[in-house]
Structure 1
């Protein structure tokens, strides 16, 4: 569609150039009748013929210029007084400079100047002064320069548009990456908050169902623990959703950390998992908040997996070791290590790996050689003095 419009416009321009060139040709011949050849039908035909290539000035500008220069040269050589400074030649020279590369544009300018020189030299003697020739040369060079300027401006604008498009694509890619990262973070936080409490509630509900008839008091304690665990889960979920919801101001409490491990261990004991906790060494300074939270979530996920998969009668042990420049956290049990390792990794362990990697740590997850399952992570700590 665009090519058709361009062709139509160029054809109209060629018609206008032809209509304008014929009167100009007749007036010039009449004004210089004493030293130019009288206009005739052949001269008019040459004028019309040199104007026809303007119709392809954007499709084949250099070829059109060469085709137009042939009748123009004949007009000059036969003494009609028309040369490369005719309207068609000027339009085509400008078109080559505006729509083709530098090499083609220089070729067109050189060809126009050469044809003008040959036409003047081969034609009849004229009283033209050197200033007249200088004016023609200046006009040719000026139009050529105007065409080159337009082409360079178009190239500059195209580069700006392309750069803006690249920046927009890069911004869109960054936005998608940020959204994906945020979705991953939200999913990890939701899993860490919900999975542990739901697992504890599931185990306690199963225990309450088994002893409901034989030991109602024990079942009542299990149901009370389920109620408390559910309330804690709801409170944490409410805080998390309040943070994620735009425009909502949530009441934020401190994030859990290693200081909360005793309460976590006690909760696991109440859920039926025999759990021990040992802490070696002392932190020289408060742990970074992110490392503290990641270590707590690792212990929480490790104990939750032990509660789910270790089996009845298994014991879990949590070991926290503070060393110079390093924090070592380990969760191990003596349950069904090989069977647990055969299970596909869940979202919890994937999230823990991401947390540990975020702080430059190293994590090992898998069954132990002597039986049982182990989750261990080592976090590097910067020694800031």
Structure 2
């Protein structure tokens, strides 16, 4: 049997009430402390064995130890059986998919009905005593049933809310991954197309005698074109019906346009760059850093209520850090309902490069989003940029 902390608290309160009643009574019952202790034990163990404790209460306490009569009746004696009736209503599940076994449900009905009938035939002073006895016992049992129904409805509602939240999270994550896939499709297709064009230029500059080299470069061109075509066929559904042309993808070099758009919407954005001009970055990394800034500033505009924000960019030989800070109400990334879906895409983009993203409210008000992105070797990036040019 497992006794919960709340059961101990209820038992302590019960003993306190019983002590107060016995110590203030004109005439104390013989062995009252043993009887009160026995009743307290029933209250303590009632949740672990609701049917058994109520049967023992009625048969032993209410009949053998303290027969119900007008002369020796105690309030704590009534509390003991009322608590037992309430516990049966609260703990025994009569209906629903998770209902108790049949023997427990039939036992609950039998114990409740038997207790009511048994106590009604005790020594009562007036007819109203019979009505009060039946009313109090059934009220205690029904109150437990109502609490059980309420708890089950709350649990079902919480489960439905959690399921809906998980579904929204998965949909947001899937949408963001699809968006990243579309952008990577454009970047990879563009890079492979440049490689094909460069191979074609080299092939046309070869001497006629270098036929073997010309054939190898022609094979490179054909393989590159096949790769781009296959990539477009594989990721075509992710383009959302867009045309086959290659879209120009933004990067950190286009932050001025984003700042201008935010200024028109009423949010003044100040951009600072630590470490000098931003060197050439891999297209996918440059795009993701831009999207993180864009998403963070969009959340500032939609949710924070701030009229200004700051974007701080710091870069070193192998790392790029982007920080967006606002002076709003601390809800920039979480949104009005605290769902936090604005963070999902930013964190997904950072994780794609092995980076990290932190989003947190500031102590004095406002919100800060910081992304730290590892940067590949700059020599390869510079060489690729030179070839593209």
TM range (shorter): 0.3 to 0.5
The TM-score with structure 1 as length reference comes to 0.47
Which of the pair has more CA radius of gyration? 1
The TM-score with structure 2 as length reference comes to 0.47
